[in-house]
A and B are shown apart, each in its own frame.
Chain A
């Protein structure tokens, strides 16, 4: 028997399969313009990767912003609880989680048992999100998203990008480019701006070590470095797993508990 956690985000859909001996398989695909079908697709793909069949699936939990339309799931759970569970599994010392997804960012506080005790979701503004980094990189700076980390490591200076609004921030970068500021410096500035926006939220729930960063943006070493500087504390990323999968992993872990409790009990 296997359980599956499916995390349907705005940019990517992720799924994690767990078997009884806690072996992990996964799949990631772009969400495209139809999160419901992306959820279904990634679910099937992950099961296929695990070389199990759909009939062997005993419990499915969907999370992420597309969770409401996931009809295949036995239950839906918010990203907050899933990231909490996933991070706690990967590193039980985790007390604070920073998750930057495509469309929003979150700060989560855990107690010593891995239970969520406080959280925050950014409200309205896109400037602390993966989408912001992506558009700024590809449309303004004309660099690839995955190169941002290496580029910012070469920065000689970190210009201040002060606008809180993404539209204005992009205008600001365009004018900085025009004055001859090198791209790598701008990338460093961009990372700092994102880290500053999200750090505010982290401070509001209270920073306690260990701080773990999850979500796709955690793959960008430049952002991690900017967070370390902004929060003045070490920030770790999952080492044995793609940080993008933490939410789906958490969903799968919760699914496992649910399956054990016959799908009704509390965890």
Chain B
């Protein structure tokens, strides 16, 4: 396996993702091939679902976090109201149009109880679809020590029953040993991702966010063992390189908010075009996916409890009532990455994020004097002009003209 051959000092990350891109282009064919050999493909949406359980059952996890496609979000209106969020309309829309090959390859779905929009997706899948749908109950009141013991216990129980269902579906019971192996694999992936993003530190990373985001999202689709190899390759090729001393004068931005799906480029592109620079994100499809390992108890102790702990407390989704923790975490991210402005991305009709906007605005302005810009949008290109003006004005406001 060859990494990027020539080291380009002017652009130290040139060619870094070529190998990954090539591999990803073959993914659909590889999944189809694995299916031929009897391997099952499990599709899921929200990152509360421990992939370890799917992997431990010898199946292929695919996170169906696609977005940004107007056509599918409109097609979803055949079943969902136009005032449902574009993510949920797309989830349904891809099935209506049949144009997303990953959806087509899925053998069964896992749906976590997160928000009303996703609930409707589950209802649609159950009612209109012959493929099995496994539900996973998720406690949402995890904001304090108050409910922690019973939340973990309940979630553990739900994971246990999902494990049984997946075992049955995959044709063999899922043993603790299998889960431990899967935990090791996923922990390795998370560690590599953290290394890549933070190399050599969060402020002066070698990769720009657009590349790191792409790397993360490749991990939603790709065979996880191969993905780890790709990450190792990238890791090897960046070791020893020095990041450019930053003097590009671009405004350092944190992009936070609603799901930024694979293919949802509108806002990141506009930020780039208008002279901003995303340095990190706080969304459920981004860097947060590599946050925290499953603890060592996952390897030597109670696997299910260790999984419950990791997955319950590390996703930045406002369907949870742990608002204070998320506020603090956001403020830490802002400091760690020397953020100068926050873009709060709200997909229309994503209620949970939208309701918390005034709280975040107030908190960030009071605590950190941090400017924040709300962008409410969907997958239609019609608002590109207005959003461009908003982001440009926001940058002028932060930077001066």
Q: Which residues of A contact B (CB under 8 A)?
A: 65, 77-81, 104, 115-117, 119, 121, 123-124, 254, 257-258, 266-267
Contacts and interface: CB of A to CB of B under 8 A. Distances in A.
Interface in B208-252: none
A77 B396 contact: yes
Interface in B72-118: none
A254 B390 CA distance: 19
Given A104-B386, A123-B376, A123-B386, A78 B400 contact: no
Contact of B393 (A119, A124, A266, A267): A119
A267 B399 CA distance: 9
B25 interface: no
B392 A78 contact: yes
Contact of A78 (B376, B383, B396, B399): B396
A267 B396 CA distance: 10
B385 A119 contact: no
A116 B386 contact: no
A104 B393 CA distance: 15
Given A123-B376, A123-B383, A124-B383, A81 B397 contact: yes
Nearest to A265: B400
Contacts of A257: 401
B389 interface: yes
Contacts of A121: 386, 389-390, 393
Given A78-B392, A104-B386, A119 B397 contact: yes
A116 B383 contact: no
Contacts of A80: 389, 393, 396-397
B389 A117 contact: no
Interface in B342-401: 376, 383, 385-386, 389-390, 392-393, 396-397, 399-401
Contacts, number: 43
B110 to A, nearest CB: 36
B374 to A, nearest CB: 9
A267 B383 contact: no
Contacts of A258: 401
A266 B389 contact: no
A116 B385 contact: no
Contacts of B401: 77, 81, 254, 257-258, 266-267
Contacts of B376: 123
Interface residues of B, number: 13
Contacts of B389: 65, 78-80, 121
27 contacts: A65-B389, A77-B396, A77-B401, A78-B396, A79-B389, A79-B393, A80-B389, A80-B396, A80-B397, A81-B393, A81-B397, A81-B401, A104-B386, A115-B397, A115-B400, A116-B396, A119-B393, A121-B386, A121-B390, A121-B393, A123-B376, A123-B383, A254-B401, A266-B400, A266-B401, A267-B400, A267-B401
Chain B CB within 10 Å, residue with most, of A65, A78, A79, A80: A78
Contacts of B399: 266
Chain B CB within 10 Å, residue with most, of A65, A104, A119: A119
A123 B383 CA distance: 8
A104 B386 CA distance: 9
A78 B393 contact: yes
Nearest to A77: B401
A252 to B, nearest CB: 13
Contacts of B385: 65
Nearest to A85: B401
Contacts of B383: 123-124
Contacts of A267: 400-401
- In the A-B complex, the 5 residue pairs with the smallest Cβ-Cβ separation, listed nearest first, are A80-B393, A78-B393, A266-B400, A81-B396, A116-B397
A112 B399 CA distance: 17
Contacts of A254: 401
A86 B385 CA distance: 23
Contacts of A81: 393, 396-397, 401
Nearest to B391: A78
B354 to A, nearest CB: 13
A83 B389 CA distance: 13
Contacts of A124: 383
B32 to A, nearest CB: 42
A257 B400 CA distance: 12
